[in-house]
Structure 1
Amino acid sequence: MPMPTDGDAKTALITGASNRTGIGCALARRMAAGGCNVVLTDLAGGPEVVEGIRRGSLGALEEIADELAEAHGVQALALPLDVSQEDSVQAALSVVGERFGRIDALFNNAGTVFGAPSPLHEYDLEAWQKTLDVNLTGVLRVTRAAVPLMRGAPSSIVNPSSRAG
């Protein structure tokens, strides 16, 4: 059974939210300031770079969530989520469903670029495939898992992108 939310509060799920100066964290701040409950997700293996991806720590993500909850009186939840792994997506969305019952806004913000910068005709094909797995297939994985939690009421899906992922 989902935990009750405050009144008619909406719930926003944001991937790629652990960088305090990044778009995901800014989205979370804005949604919380508007009264939305927020679910902040990101890779959470520790503050390191693995295979070219900056991993945030779950502790840092939890600090951001705690700050948002305290500052705006909303529920804020930090979850580890690797959008390139189906089991990670399913586990995170299961927690969201149990906790909030639904998702009103999904921001597929997680993104990266693998491989060294190079001209397209020299770009490493394995790095290209890894990049697509996060930036494109990851969006599909999360969206497919989120849609059942978005049915029955107006909801939004936003898929930002940039040259950096």
Structure 2
Amino acid sequence: MTERTGAGDSNTAVASDPADDDPRLAFIYQEAVRGLNHQQNLVENMNTRAGSLIFATAFVNSLLGARALSDGLGLWDWIAVALLFGIGGLIVFLLWPYHKYTFRFDPEELLHHYVDGDRPLKISAMQRALALRIKADMASNWRIIQRLRVALQIALVLLLFDILAWLFAIAGV
């Protein structure tokens, strides 16, 4: 269905030719958007996991640390405290606000490139161009996500070593 406006109206709608709409491009575009949404969910899940890591670290260090430090400071106590600071640094890295993620398009830029330009594009051409842009955005986002994933894994390993250090301190090894 095309929209028709008066001749004096500056916001005339550009009609898309139904023959130009390629359902394959629409499908590819939808899959690209779905992939980008999946990436955004990954980032949100990692933030949730970082919050869980904060809780687990606080719980372990308050429970085991209080018991271990009641006997004074030993080598294992210092190792556990150093590991605690390492975990804390990684948590800050995980939760630091990144502004280089690209999960959305700028509407003004879309209007400028695809509608208000010299040659407005048909919907299938827009979907093709935006699907390729989403692919580039996903690659850029993935580099950040990979760094965060590695930091989370290292923090979890440090938490295990932290628990062991506190247990060794309690045991007097």
Select the structure that is richer in helix. Answer: 2
- TM-score tier after normalising by the smaller chain length: under 0.3
For normalisation by structure 2, the TM-score amounts to 0.23
RCO higher in structure (CA 8 A, sep ≥6): 2
TM-score, normalised by the number of residues in structure 1: 0.24
